[in-house]
Amino acid sequence: AQTVTQSQPEMSVQEAETVTLSCTYDTSESDYYLFWYKQPPSRQMILVIRQEAYKQQNATENRFSVNFQKAAKSFSLKISDSQLGDAAMYFCAYMGGGGATNKLIFGTGTLLAVQP
Amino acid sequence: NAGVMQNPRHLVRRRGQEARLRCSPMKGHSHVYWYRQLPEEGLKFMVYLQKENIIDESGMPKERFSAEFPKEGPSILRIQQVVRGDSAAYFCASSPVNAGASKLGFFGSGTQLSVL
């Protein structure tokens, strides 16, 4: 069975600085997708960034980028120029590519605090 | 274009009562996923439905929980005879037909169920 592990329950970063959130996963599949979701206090789940496993290039969305290390099964999220609005819970998620369900498997989350 | 709509946002039930949670997918989406988020945990997949059809209910508890997505109207997650352990946030996500990972990411704001 696939698993997703986020080993940092909490992280803190100064405004305008850079922070990296860690995520590792375990799978025997070769075709899959990885995601980072943001959950602010409003509880809304917001997709931050996605990565297809077959793509070697790391995904980037504005200030958000990932470091995808397929062999190491690692998928970290880097947030550059951190802003107060980035404070939230961040979840890493996995989805297998070959199944019919498209269900997501989530990690336990990292709570990010941004200090002014 | 409204997103995924869930109601109610908060639901309070006493032990033994029934809870009914509703999810209206995004316009044009015919697939619905339900997830549960227990306190201090990530989201866990419960069930995947298409219109009038349950595709994958591998994450649903065997008893007291049921889900439906009728031809007309919202998807309903029903919990009978609720217990305190059912207290959680329940999220719904939707996707179009034959959606791959590129179509994922559309979550509702969740229903917070509190069992007294």
**Among A96, A66, A77, residue whose Cα is nearest residue A3:** A96
Q: What is the pLDDT of residues A5-58, one digit of tens each?
A: 999 999 999 999 999 999 999 999 888 999 999 999 988 899 999 998 988 899
Q: What is the count of residue pairs from A and B with beta carbons less than 8 Å apart?
A: 70
Which one of B40, B48, B91 has the shortest CB-CB distance to A45? B91
Residues of B in contact with A46 (CB under 8 A): 107
Which one of B55, B89, B105 has the shortest CB-CB distance to A100? B55
Q: Which residue of A has its CA nearest to B40?
A: A108
The whole-number pLDDT of residue B3 equals: 86
CA–CA–CA angle B63, B46, B79 (5° rounding): 40
Q: What percentage of chain A reaches a pLDDT higher than 70?
A: 97
The whole-number pLDDT of residue A84 equals: 97
What is d(CA A35, CA B21) in angstroms, rounded to the nearest whole number?
26
Torsion sign (Cα): B25, B29, B30, B33: negative
Q: What is the pLDDT of residues A93-107, one digit of tens each?
A: 998 876 666 789 999
- Judged by CB atoms closer than 8 Å, whether chains meet at A104 and B104 is answered as yes
- Judged by CB atoms closer than 8 Å, whether chains meet at A106 and B43 is answered as yes
Q: Tens digit of pLDDT per residue, chain B (116 long)?
A: 568 999 999 999 999 999 999 999 988 888 899 999 998 788 999 999 998 999 999 999 999 999 999 999 999 999 999 999 999 999 999 887 655 555 566 889 999 999 99
